[in-house]
Amino acid sequence: MRIAIAGASGRMGRMLIEATSRDEGARLVAALDRPDSAAIGEDAAAFLGSPAGVPISSDVDAALAGADFLIDFTRPEATLAHLEACRRHNVKMIIGTTGFSEAQRARLVEASRDIAIVFAPNMAVGVNAVFRLLDVAARILNSGYDVEVIEAHHRMKVDAPSGTALRMGEVVADALGRSLADCAIYGREGHTGERQDTTIGFSTIRGGDIVGDHTVLFAGLGERIEITHKSASRMPYALGSLRAARWLVSRDSGLYDMQDVLGLR
């Protein structure tokens, strides 16, 4: 698999480069970054002590000309610009970017008519196993339990709640026959009154270098059930992305997520 990576000098970009370098079935062929990045021109894998012979570039079209896949964990605006370039070059995408608006998500759907895309709020296999566990738990605990989603991330994260937390809320809401848009509570302050039975609450923590912690709490009378996933590093996201790329090899178009990749539908 010929892999191009966006955001190559960032923390996630470097983890993707490391994972690609270790994967015998993958080859790093391009590394992209912003035009104003101080890393432009540097070897993308120099930080590993084993240069890859791939300089970091801001020329998207040149980078994609020799790639089969672009893995993108950047920002919505950058990802959408890369999306159009991938359509021009018939390059498949693995997108881990979060914070898209509904209008921006619609552009992913439109592009998927031309190219194959895996778009997921979290690429880690363990997190996607948790999504399935939440679906089962919510169907069992469908009455008499209050649901709260608590997430924590590093101080540099710019969107809240996290895409993973929102997806957890969506999974629970769907299992309960609700719409998250109608039942989500994203903040409490002051005299809020009693909690409504049908709401799903979200709590967000930002601090330090926390990679990503997520807990869904089902609180009933006399008991609590907590389903938690904690990330110690970004490597699970990178490994999941490469697994998604391998799954996309045989697909020419369509919009998929990690539940498709893992056969959990």
Residue with tokens 């009693």: 194
Decide: residue 119, CB within 10 A, 0-12 exposed, 13-18 middle, 19+ buried: buried
CB 125 within 8 A of CB 236: yes
φ and ψ of 27, to 5 deg: -140, 130
**What CA–CA distance (Å, rounded) separates 73 from 47?**
19
φ and ψ of 44, to 5 deg: -60, -30
Query: Which of these is catalytic: 82, 89, 92, 153?
Result: 153
φ and ψ of 86, to 5 deg: -65, -35
Give the pair of three-digit tokens for residue 117: 């895309």
Distance (Å) of CA 89 to CA 43, 47, 115, 195, 214:
24, 29, 10, 51, 37
214 annotated active-site? no
Nearest Cα neighbor of 124 from 160, 163, 154 is 163
For the annotated catalytic residues, the residue numbers are 153, 157
